[in-house]
Amino acid sequence: MSRIGRAPITIPAGVDVKLEGGAVTVKGAKGTLTKTLNPEIQVEIKDGAIHVTRASDDKLHRSLHGLTRTLINNMVEGVSKGFSKELEINGVGYRAQKQGKQLVLNVGYSHQVMVDEIPGITIDVPAANRIVINGIDKQLVGQFAADVRKKRPPEPYKGKGIKYVDEVIRRKEGKTGAKK
pLDDT, tens digit, for every residue of 46-64? 888 999 999 888 898 988 9
What is the tally of structural domains in the chain?
Answer: 2
At 130, the pLDDT band (50, 70, 90 cuts) reads: very high
Quick: pLDDT tens for 144-162: 999 999 999 999 999 899 9
Mean pLDDT of the 35-48 span: 91
Contact at 8 Å (CB) between 140 and 78?
Answer: no
Averaged pLDDT score across all residues of the chain: 92
Contact at 8 Å (CB) between 100 and 114?
Answer: no
Residue 46 belongs to some domain of the structure:
yes
| Residues sharing a CB contact under 8 Å with residue 166, sequence separation 6 or more, in sequence order | none
Measured distance CA(100)–CA(48) in Å, rounded: 41
Quick: pLDDT tens for 69-103: 999 999 999 999 999 999 999 999 999 999 999 99
**Are 12 and 29 in a shared domain?**
yes
At 135, the pLDDT band (50, 70, 90 cuts) reads: very high
Contact at 8 Å (CB) between 130 and 87?
Answer: yes
**Are 158 and 115 in a shared domain?**
yes
How much is the pLDDT for 36?
95
Q: Which of 124, 95, 122, 126 is CA-nearest to residue 108?
A: 95
Quick: pLDDT tens for 3-28: 888 899 999 999 999 999 889 999 99
On the CB side of 145, CA atoms within 13 Å amount to 24
60: domain range? 3-80
**Are 37 and 73 in a shared domain?**
yes
| pLDDT of residue 180 exceeding 60 | no
User: For the chain, what percent of residues have pLDDT higher than 70?
Assistant: 97
Domain end among 80, 101, 122: 80
Q: Residue 10: which CATH number?
A: 3.90.930.12
| pLDDT of residue 2 exceeding 90 | no
How much is the pLDDT for 179?
59
Q: Which of 101, 100, 122 is CA-nearest to residue 30?
A: 122
| Residues sharing a CB contact under 8 Å with residue 12, sequence separation 6 or more, in sequence order | 76, 80
